[in-house]
């Protein structure tokens, strides 16, 4: 087991380079199995969720070649076998093998996916979509068996604009007969990255990034190349650190408009920063104003930045509120923040944060990926030493976070316990 130790209060200066988007990469890796032959994915982030997917890809008898951030996946010897519970629970994105294997083999055996404990996270919308395309779903305990004689395009309206269901239905429909239209699709920019990859493989998909996606089925797909887009949640997390501790901290390799809703809130708070075409330069700002935030699907304020943002709000002068609309349980980090000196009240899905409060280092536990990142932010501004346990959650989604932060002046290290 490992823990992260932080000595708080040091300014951050220099450059942090942003990696590829976790939520794109974890969908693009399974998508490569839709093609016959070799696909190349570049800018793949070095996170443990990637390694968990590699283990599933290897179980399915595909070859993976890795050269730094570039991976090649060869599906020549692909074998459709049961994806064990041990593998599927290692991450949320294992559910993408449902759509992919259904598309290719019309038969899938897999267990319910894992992922952070931030809410109940059912997969009913994915299954409803598969059923609309002609799939029979059988559930025994946590195991799902999907069978289809023939997949046929359909019009599918999602009850909620789910990111996972939108992508999974695209996978299932890409080689179905005829046209599929997904209404109320999620509009996240990662879905455009996925559409581009599939279209390079020979798919006929349009509309990703809007709430209506049209998929005209093709008979087969060939290997293709794609680059993972920058991670807007990783960049958002470091942008928030820059607002708290930046001394001309440069966050490089970003697409600023992907963080548009975050910058709008930072403007309202009075945070000082400069934007370039692919970077932001952040400075610690005094007299921050409180704000009210409601999380939404893209282009609204991302649920994944709710918890990191809450730490900045502890430093605003007055009462701020964050209301979570996507997950019912993105609050695991608050008891720890309160322990460190934050004044927070939780009422249903709204956190009311009274600032400005000094935070003091202590021993705390990461409870989920983004909550863990929030605790790193808290440790960086806290007086004294913060020790964070259960850090596996953080390493699932933030590549080389210790290295990136020490490089810009943070006193942070990882140690074996």
Where in the sequence numbering do the catalytic residues fall? 116
**Residue count, binding to ligand UD1 (CB under 6 A):** 22
Helix 232-245 with 306-313: angle, nearest 10 deg: 10
Q: Measured from the CB of residue 376, what is the shortest distance to ligand UD1 in angstroms?
A: 17
Q: Measured from the CB of residue 152, what is the shortest distance to ligand UD1 in angstroms?
A: 21
Q: Which residues in the 67-106 window bind ligand UD1 by CB under 6 A? A: 92-93
The torsion of the CA quartet 362, 365, 368, 373, rounded to 10 degrees, works out to 30
- The nearer residue to ligand UD1, 285 or 368, going by C-beta atoms, is 368
Long-range contacts of 398-402 (CB under 8 A, 24+ apart): 398/47, 398/234, 398/237, 398/369, 398/373, 399/19, 399/45, 399/46, 399/47, 399/234, 400/19, 400/46, 401/373, 401/376, 402/4
- The nearer residue to ligand UD1, 129 or 242, going by C-beta atoms, is 129
Q: Can you tell me which of 14, 160, 210, 275 binds ligand UD1, judged by CB under 6 A?
A: 160
Q: Applying CB under 6 A, does 165 fall inside the site for ligand UD1?
A: yes
Q: Applying CB under 6 A, does 168 fall inside the site for ligand UD1?
A: no
Q: Is the peptide bond before 168 cis (omega within 30 degrees of 0)?
A: no
Q: Which residues neighbour 184 within 8 Å (Cβ) at sequence distance 6 or greater?
A: 157, 158, 159, 160, 161, 211
Order of strands across the sheet that contains 350-355: 292-294, 318-323, 350-355, 343-347
Q: Measured from the CB of residue 119, what is the shortest distance to ligand UD1 in angstroms?
A: 5
Q: Applying CB under 6 A, does 126 fall inside the site for ligand UD1?
A: yes
The residue range among 142-150, 155-163, 244-252, 308-316 that interacts with ligand UD1, by the rule CB under 6 A, is: 155-163
Q: Applying CB under 6 A, does 163 fall inside the site for ligand UD1?
A: yes
What's the alpha-carbon Rg for the chain, to the nearest Å? 21
Q: Applying CB under 6 A, does 237 fall inside the site for ligand UD1?
A: no
Q: Nearest 5°: phi and psi at 25?
A: -60, -40
How far is residue 324's CA from residue 337's CA, in Å, rounded to a whole number?
17
Q: Locate tokens 């289809």: which residue?
A: 148
- Say which DSSP state 46 is in: -
How far is residue 144's CA from residue 195's CA, in Å, rounded to a whole number?
26
Binding mask 297-316 for ligand UD1 (x = CB under 6 A): ------xx------------
Please state whether beta strands 2-7 and 385-389 pair in parallel, antiparallel, or not at all (unpaired). Answer: antiparallel
Q: Can you tell me which of 39, 94, 103, 162 binds ligand UD1, judged by CB under 6 A?
A: 162
Q: Applying CB under 6 A, does 122 fall inside the site for ligand UD1?
A: yes
How far is residue 241's CA from residue 283's CA, in Å, rounded to a whole number?
9
Tokens for 340, please give them. Answer: 């460190």
Q: Can you tell me which of 19, 20, 21, 23 binds ligand UD1, judged by CB under 6 A?
A: 23
The residue range among 54-62, 121-129, 313-321, 360-368 that interacts with ligand UD1, by the rule CB under 6 A, is: 121-129
Binding mask 255-294 for ligand UD1 (x = CB under 6 A): ----------------------------------------
Query: Secondary structure of the chain: what % helix, strand, coil (to 5)?
Result: 35, 30, 35
Q: Can you tell me which of 26, 31, 98, 148 binds ligand UD1, judged by CB under 6 A?
A: 26
Q: Applying CB under 6 A, does 324 fall inside the site for ligand UD1?
A: no
Q: Measured from the CB of residue 123, what is the shortest distance to ligand UD1 in angstroms?
A: 5
Q: Applying CB under 6 A, does 56 fall inside the site for ligand UD1?
A: no
- The nearer residue to ligand UD1, 119 or 335, going by C-beta atoms, is 119
Residue nearest to ligand UD1 (CB): 164
Binding mask 182-221 for ligand UD1 (x = CB under 6 A): ----x-----------------------------------
Q: Which residues of this protein are in contact with ligand UD1, per CB under 6 A?
A: 23, 26, 92-93, 119-126, 160, 162-165, 186, 303-304, 326-327
């Amino acid at each position: 087991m490992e823990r992260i130790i932080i000595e708080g209060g040091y300014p951050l200066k220099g450059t942090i380079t942003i990696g590829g988007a976790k939520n794109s990469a974890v969908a693009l890796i399974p998508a490569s199995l839709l093609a016959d032959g070799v696909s190349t994915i570049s800018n793949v982030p070095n996170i443990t969720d990637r390694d968990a997917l590699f283990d599933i890809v290897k179980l399915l008898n595909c070859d993976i070649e890795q050269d730094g951030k570039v991976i090649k996946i060869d599906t020549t010897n692909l074998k459709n076998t049961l994806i064990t519970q041990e593998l599927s629970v290692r991450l949320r994105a294992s559910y993408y093998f449902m759509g992919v294997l259904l598309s290719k083999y019309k038969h899938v055996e897999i267990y319910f996916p894992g992922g952070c404990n931030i809410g109940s996270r059912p997969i009913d919308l994915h299954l409803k979509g598969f059923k609309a395309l002609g799939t029979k779903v059988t559930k025994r305990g946590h195991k799902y068996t999907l069978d289809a004689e023939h997949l046929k395009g359909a019009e599918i309206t999602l009850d909620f604009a789910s990111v996972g269901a939108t992508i999974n239905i695209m996978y299932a429909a890409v080689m179905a007969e005829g046209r599929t239209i997904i209404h109320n699709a999620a509009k996240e920019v990662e879905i455009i990255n996925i559409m581009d990859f599939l279209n390079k493989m020979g798919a006929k998909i349009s509309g990703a990034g809007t709430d209506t996606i049209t998929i005209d089925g093709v008979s087969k797909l060939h290997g293709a190349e794609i680059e993972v887009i920058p991670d807007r949640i990783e960049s958002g997390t470091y942008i928030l650190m820059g607002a708290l501790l930046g001394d001309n901290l440069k966050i490089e390799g970003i697409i600023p408009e992907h963080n548009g809703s975050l910058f709008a809130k930072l403007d309202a708070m009075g945070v000082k920063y400069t934007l370039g075409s692919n970077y932001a330069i952040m400075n610690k700002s005094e007299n921050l104003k409180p704000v009210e935030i409601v999380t939404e699907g893209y282009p609204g304020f991302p649920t994944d930045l709710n918890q990191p943002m809450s730490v900045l709000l502890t430093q605003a002068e007055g009462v701020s509120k964050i209301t979570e609309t996507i997950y019912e349980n993105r609050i695991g980090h608050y008891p720890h923040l309160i322990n460190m000196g934050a004044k927070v009240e939780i009422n249903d899905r709204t956190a009311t944060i009274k600032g400005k409060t000094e935070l003091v280092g202590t021993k705390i536990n990461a409870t989920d990926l983004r909550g863990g990142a929030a605790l790193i932010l808290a440790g960086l501004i806290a007086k004294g030493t913060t020790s964070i346990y259960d850090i596996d959650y953080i390493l699932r989604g933030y590549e080389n976070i210790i290295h990136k932060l020490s490089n810009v002046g943070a006193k942070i290290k990882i140690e074996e316990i």
